[in-house]
Amino acid sequence: MKLFRQRHHGAHLHLATVGARRHRSHVNQRLPSSAVPRKDPHPTEKGAQAVEAVGLLPQRPYRMSPEAALGPLQEHTLATVEAGMAFVAHAHRLGHECGPLDWSPETAHYYRDDSRPGEDLALIPDPVLSYVHADTKAKQRTLLTFFIEVDRTQMTIARLAAKLHAYAAYQEFTPQIAATRGTRTVRRPGSAPAWRSRYAVFPRLLLVLTGAAEARLDRQIGDLRSLAASNPTLIASPVRAGVTTLDRLRDLGPFAPIFTPVTGSAQLADAWLRPQSVAA
């Protein structure tokens, strides 16, 4: 897709604050686990109001509480920020564009699934990340959008596969349109899938695993591929999904061949999720 300028500024205030701080002081170095701050990562009420007053971020209907920020969610939040900042650091290195305000954590995408009739469902990526890829040789700039899911070995393989199924269902979901006929309200299928109202192209899905040794994470990647290969819905889905580890993302960057496709060939790919033979 040729570049059209579109920036997503819907980041949670506490994540934007942590991301900006990480960008200033750690953009080119990796923090050892012992050095990761364990302080409350969310701003005070006055701090949140000051950030909102600038106008770069939309107001959220809720704010992170101190109890939630200091609970089990903290490790997941920090891992999500680390994943986002890996994109920022390597964009700076490669001459691309991606900054702390270019990802929007926990944005709800509503859909329905034929396998769960009558239920209103919400798909909530850890962040939705926008990235401007610049190809100086081809003189082309491309806006890439990614759904990113981070797992610190807290989810079973079955639950990860269920997340993949949710993305496949969202990609297919076309909302119905209500119309009035006399005294009756009838519904008919819409003309475009729900995701078209947000994105020009359906975002690629990147799963980032952390929280265990690389050997264990590699086994999880293999198990996830095996489970996906037995799911007809995932095999037939056009959703492009790849999985890697947080260490590889930080060390090598998203445009190195670090992503294992969830379905199809196991040949490693970069964040475009194209086989290296095609990318070359």
Asked if residue 149 has pLDDT above 90, the reply is yes
Residue 152: pLDDT above 50?
A: yes
Q: Answer whether residue 145 shows pLDDT above 90.
A: yes
Cα–Cα distance for residue pair 146/152, rounded to 1 Å: 19
Contact 150, 83 (CB under 8 A): yes
pTM value surpassing 0.85: no
Does residue 74 or residue 98 have the better pLDDT? 98
- Closest C-alpha among 170, 182, 164, 183 to residue 241: 164
pLDDT at residue 42, rounded to an integer: 65
**For position 73, what pLDDT does the model report?**
81
Please state, in angstroms and rounded to a whole number, the distance separating the CA atoms of residues 40 and 189: 46
Q: What pLDDT is recorded for position 237? A: 95
pLDDT confidence band for 22 (50 / 70 / 90): very low
Q: Which of 40-54, 91-105, 133-147 has the lowest mean pLDDT?
A: 40-54
Tokens, residue 245: 């580890």
User: Considering the chain, what is the average pLDDT of its residues?
Assistant: 82
Q: Do the beta carbons of residue 149 and residue 126 sit within 8 Å?
A: yes
pLDDT of residue 229: 95
Q: Specify burial of residue 29 (Cβ count, 10 A radius: 0-12, 13-18, 19+).
A: exposed
Six token digits for residue 200? 């020009």
Could you tell me if 224 and 262 are in contact, meaning their C-beta atoms sit under 8 angstroms apart?
Answer: yes
Closest CA to 175 of 160, 161, 200, 192: 192
User: What is the pLDDT, as a whole number, of residue 60?
Assistant: 67
147 or 184: which carries more pLDDT confidence? 147
Find the range with the poorest average confidence among 61-65, 173-177, 232-236: 61-65
The whole-number pLDDT of residue 147 equals 98
pLDDT band for position 4 (50/70/90)? Answer: very low
What pLDDT sits at residue 28? 40
Is-contact 178 190, C-beta < 8 A? no
Residue 61 has a pLDDT of 64
HEC string of the chain equals CCCCCCCCCCCCHHHHHHHHHHHHHHCCCCCCHHHCCCCCCCCCHHHHHHHHHHCCCCCCCCCCCHHHHCCCHHHHHHHHHHHHHHHHHHHHHHCCECCHHHEEECCCEEECCCCCCCCCEEECCCEEEEEEEEECCCCEEEEEEEEEEEECCCCCHHHHHHHHHHHHHHHHCCCEEEEEECCEEEEEECCCCHHHHCCCCCCEEEEEECCCCHHHHHHHHHHHHHHHHCCHHHHHCCCCEEEEEHHHHHHHCCCCCCEEECCCCCCCECCCCCEHHHHC
Q: Give the per-residue pLDDT at 114.
A: 82
**Rounded average pLDDT over 100-111:** 91
Q: Residue 46 has what pLDDT?
A: 79
